[in-house]
Amino acid sequence: GIQVEQSPPDLILQEGANSTLRCNFSDSVNNLQWFHQNPWGQLINLFYIPSGTKQNGRLSATTVATERYSLLYISSSQTTDSGVYFCAVEQKTSGSRLTFGEGTQLTVNP
Amino acid sequence: NAGVTQTPKFRVLKTGQSMTLLCAQDMNHEYMYWYRQDPGMGLRLIHYSVGEGTTAKGEVPDGYNVSRLKKQNFLLGLESAAPSQTSVYFCASSTGLGVSYEQYFGPGTRLTVT
């Protein structure tokens, strides 16, 4: 099956700092999604981005499908950005199943 | 439009007991999924369904059964719960029609088996 690697595994920031999270995947994909899991365990859809670039407020994401990676940018981080960020991909041959990376644990300190 | 809802939110079972988790979606999605999340890990697919009356195994199907009798509902059953099934269970749905593959997730069910 497809392999999904996220980096870094842990990240600690001061409020106001910027950060970049990376997701590498090992095969062609139909779907790539970024999620934020907040401290209460809720999974929040951030981006559906199998290719290209999208922006939503302080967050933006870029997927370069031909090179098999995606980046999530967080600018001017806030304490409410803390939590785990997951990348998940659907392999083109997998029949509509998402494979998740192990996540990046982000802590934003005041 | 409630999206994807899950019932119950929390449950504690004793080893050997059975239970059913209910997932409902009001987006007319064809595809539905059950995932589990263990501490410090990403989600793993248990079973999924590509339409009413169909089910298929995912990555970790052992010990679970599912049914999709109605398009809007997907049930996950544990016939004889084991401590290894202590986890957080997430349901998701998608259109699955090739236009958009985006999956939408419910709030999760936290299950503890003692």
Q: Rounded to 5 degrees, what are φ and ψ at A57?
A: 65, -125
| CA separation for the pair A96, A89 (Å, rounded) | 10
- For residue B5, what is the enclosing H or E element? strand B4-7
User: CB of A98 within 8 A of CB of B103?
Assistant: yes
Reported as a single tens digit per residue, the pLDDT across B78-105 is 999 999 999 999 999 998 766 677 899 9
Instruction: Supply the pLDDT for residue B98.
Output: 64
Neighbour tally for B59: CB within 10 Å? 14
Any CB–CB contact under 8 A between A101 and chain B? yes
User: Chain A: nearest CA to B43, how far in angstroms?
Assistant: 6
| CA separation for the pair A60, A45 (Å, rounded) | 13
Per-residue DSSP letters for B15-62? TT--EEEEEEESS--SEEEEEEE-TTS-EEEEEEESSTT--EE-SS-T
Reported as a single tens digit per residue, the pLDDT across B16-42 is 999 999 999 999 999 999 999 998 888
Interface test with B, best of A37, A43, A49, A104 (most B CBs within 10 A): A43
Reported as a single tens digit per residue, the pLDDT across A17-53 is 999 999 999 999 888 999 999 888 889 999 999 999 9
